Amino acid sequence: MFQAGPPLFKKPPPVEYNPAIPIETFDFIITDECHRSIYDLWRQVLDYFDAFIIGLTATPSKQTIGFFNKNLVMEYNHEQAVADGVNVGFDVYRIRTRITDQGSTVEAKNWVDKRDRLTRSKWYEELDNDLLYASEDLDRSVVAKDQIRTVIRTFRDKLFTEIFPGRTDVPKTVIFAKDDSHAEDIVDIVREEFARGNDFCQKITYRTTGKDPEDLIAEFRNSYNPRIVVTVDMIATGTDIKPLEIVFFMRSVKSRIFFEQMKGRGVRVIGDTDFQAVTSDAKAKDHFVIVDAVGVCEAAKSESRPLERKPTVSLEKLLEAVAFGSTDEDVVSSLAGRLARLNQRLNKQQQVEFVEASGGASLSGITGSMFAALDADQHIERAKSDNKTGQPSDDQIKKAAESLIKEAVKPLHKPDLREKIVDLHRVTIQTIDVVSQDEVLDAGFDAKSLDRAKGIVESFEKFIAEHHDAITALQVLYSQPYRRRLTFNEIKELAKAIEKPPLGLTTERLWQAYQALEKSKVRGDGGRQLTDIVSVIRFALHQDNTLTPFADVVHDRFDRWLESQQAGGRSFTPDQLRWPELIRDHIAASMSIAPDDFAYTPFNEAGGIGKAYELFKDDLTKLLNELNEVLAA
């Protein structure tokens, strides 16, 4: 197939030798944001100089760690940063609606608005057929205004009673939208629901008209208005807005690094005076809140987690629990989070009073020790030290963890100190009403939904039975054992056939239907990758006992393959191992791999086909064939 026009990935100009800047110019090179500054042109610059390279990043990827040969000099996690007062912790407030989770249906003969996505011009049409749409269609092919309104209205109603109880000023909030059109819809509805002027809520994207986006960001950072900003990804990375207290997700994020960067907008610490200059009724920024309207936090992308794991247990009860010898990690983590939050609010005189009550220890020092005692790496090191063994047993690690926690909370055994903490807490905290119950939004399947799911499954299984000779992918999947491997184009053909009438289904909708009917047999949150259709077909044909995301299946097969290689005496260097892992991920998304794929991301970023041949030489072809056979079988 010939494709006219420029190549998909433009090769950066080569960095050539310059006698005015010899390769030995520097002893050390420090590269910031090294999760993205080690590729393409900058990679050539780094390779040009004969110098030690020091990389700095808050969000290292596997490729970043591989580039530096796993030479991690220092790790400073979110929990430790909170304990040290460098960052603030976060809580997660989940908003779930039926349409967000399940999509919806508009019956035929209804009149609906149609809108040009770019110009936003409208017209009306009568539906000839039922409009059936899934959650992934929202704000792309379908806009459900009431879905956006329900989320925003719930946020508004719970803002001053549950999210930030007792406050009157809307905290500085950034809402992440799916695209510019989605951002426009959110801005309109926020303004309507909060009944404030245009200055109250602003859109900041690359398509913002009127004010310069950078000027709007400066206003958001330093002025009272805007209180709420809606963006796509312009404020997602590298923008420092210290007064920000709410990070609101109305879009899903698949990249762990990107999610961490977006979440990181809220962790910044700010002085009380500067904070109150833009949010007058706030006293101190001691935490921020992630409002999750799409389940982004449930996808386990973030390696840090909320410190608060016992939100309904009072501070007094937590202190009492550790005083009586509890080493439960949830209890200790929650107490440490509460104390770190309290520490942010204490003035100098109160800090002095605490040190006097504790006999010399600061609140930040005690909190830091508690967080350190919860570190799994510290548990292992203590167990090694206590037992003089290379690899301690699980029981030894557990005992070491209990020992570290007991040492960390020992100062809190003093009744006078616990009483002082409670007194300081009462001075700085308002009572939060945990009795009033929020409305339970639809997060499951009622009887009507189960009937609908059953109908979807029955129609789908009837379809594949009737078309197994007509669609190539079904021919392959029906044959046992498989005569050959599937191609990505064959999978696309199958997905398109299922999306067409009369089925009108997506892989994710099928996944949800099976999950509703056979929850115990469904593993993970699948259906979002095109290759997941293979898992769905195999489950429908009873070739697999469980419905598992195809990527998870590939990862399990890869781990078993790697174990068998090691058992057979075949080993890989860190540089070499990176390539089978990249191949694994490519097969998980595309069903197979060929040498031509090495011209594209992420292989080209790792050196392309030339680097692969350098590492594996004549074994590269064998490796590709072997992984194609093992992982996509």
**Cα distance between residue 209 and residue 206, in whole Å:** 9
Residues 179 and 278 reside in one and the same domain:
yes
DSSP per residue, 380-428: HHHHHHHHT-SS--HHHHHHHHHHHHHHHHGGGG-HHHHHHHHHHHHHH
Please give the mean pLDDT across all residues of the chain.
79
**Cα distance between residue 342 and residue 501, in whole Å:** 59
Q: Which of 215-224, 362-371, 429-438 has the lowest mean pLDDT?
A: 429-438
pLDDT of the residue at 438: 27
Residues 156 and 270 reside in one and the same domain:
yes
Domain boundary among 244, 271, 299: 299
pLDDT of the residue at 187: 93
**Cα distance between residue 66 and residue 602, in whole Å:** 13
Whether 180 contacts 142, CB under 8 Å: no
The structure tokens listed for 408 are: 């960390």
With 60 as the cut, is the pLDDT of residue 308 above it? no
Domain boundary among 299, 333, 356: 299
For residue 359, is it within any domain? yes
Amino acid 446 reads D
Q: What is the mean pLDDT of residues 166-182?
A: 87
Whether 630 contacts 557, CB under 8 Å: yes
For residue 434, is it within any domain? no
Question: For a pLDDT cut of 70, what percent of the chain falls above it?
Answer: 82
For residue 582, is it within any domain? yes
Per-residue pLDDT tens for 414-470?
888 888 888 787 665 333 222 323 232 433 333 445 676 788 888 888 888 888 787
Identify the DSSP state of 231.
E
Residues 213 and 274 reside in one and the same domain:
yes
**Cα distance between residue 74 and residue 123, in whole Å:** 58
Residues 181 and 289 reside in one and the same domain:
yes
For residue 542, is it within any domain? yes
CATH of the domain at 216: 3.40.50.300
Residues 337 and 275 reside in one and the same domain:
no
For residue 397, is it within any domain? yes
**Predicted TM-score (pTM) of this structure:** 0.48
Name which residue leads in pLDDT, 319 or 474.
Answer: 319
For residue 352, is it within any domain? yes
Residues 503 and 600 reside in one and the same domain:
no
> Could you tell me the CA-to-CA distances from 246 to 181, 222, 235, 316, 433 in Å, in that order?
22, 16, 13, 28, 20
Residues 284 and 329 reside in one and the same domain:
no
- How many domains does the structure of the chain reveal? 5
Q: What is the mean pLDDT of residues 211-218?
A: 84
Residues 521 and 561 reside in one and the same domain:
no
The helix/strand/coil state of 289 is strand
Domain coverage including residue 373:
315-428
Residues 324 and 363 reside in one and the same domain:
yes
With 70 as the cut, is the pLDDT of residue 483 above it? no
Q: What is the mean pLDDT of residues 543-555?
A: 89
Residues in the chain: 633
Name which residue leads in pLDDT, 386 or 135.
Answer: 386
Domain boundary among 481, 514, 548: 548
Per-residue pLDDT tens for 231-283?
887 776 667 889 999 999 988 877 777 787 888 888 888 888 899 999 988 87
**402 CB contacts (<8 Å, ≥6 apart)?**
327
pLDDT of the residue at 237: 62
**Cα distance between residue 63 and residue 187, in whole Å:** 37
Residue recorded with tokens 């807005």: 241
For residue 309, is it within any domain? no
For residue 192, is it within any domain? yes
Residues 220 and 180 reside in one and the same domain:
yes
> Omega before 6 cis (within 30°)?
no
With 60 as the cut, is the pLDDT of residue 599 above it? yes
Identify the DSSP state of 546.
S
Q: What is the mean pLDDT of residues 203-211?
A: 73
The helix/strand/coil state of 94 is strand
Residues 233 and 215 reside in one and the same domain:
yes
Q: Which of 104-113, 358-367, 453-462, 619-628 has the lowest mean pLDDT?
A: 104-113
Name which residue leads in pLDDT, 157 or 107.
Answer: 157
Q: Other CB atoms closer than 10 Å to residue 412's CB: what's the count? A: 21
Residues 155 and 293 reside in one and the same domain:
yes
**Cα distance between residue 177 and residue 173, in whole Å:** 13
Per-residue pLDDT tens for 424-436?
876 653 332 223 2
| pLDDT band at residue 190 under the 50/70/90 scheme | very high
With 70 as the cut, is the pLDDT of residue 90 above it? yes
pLDDT of the residue at 191: 94
pLDDT of the residue at 66: 73
Partners of residue 105 on adjacent β-strands: 132
Partners of residue 228 on adjacent β-strands: 173, 201
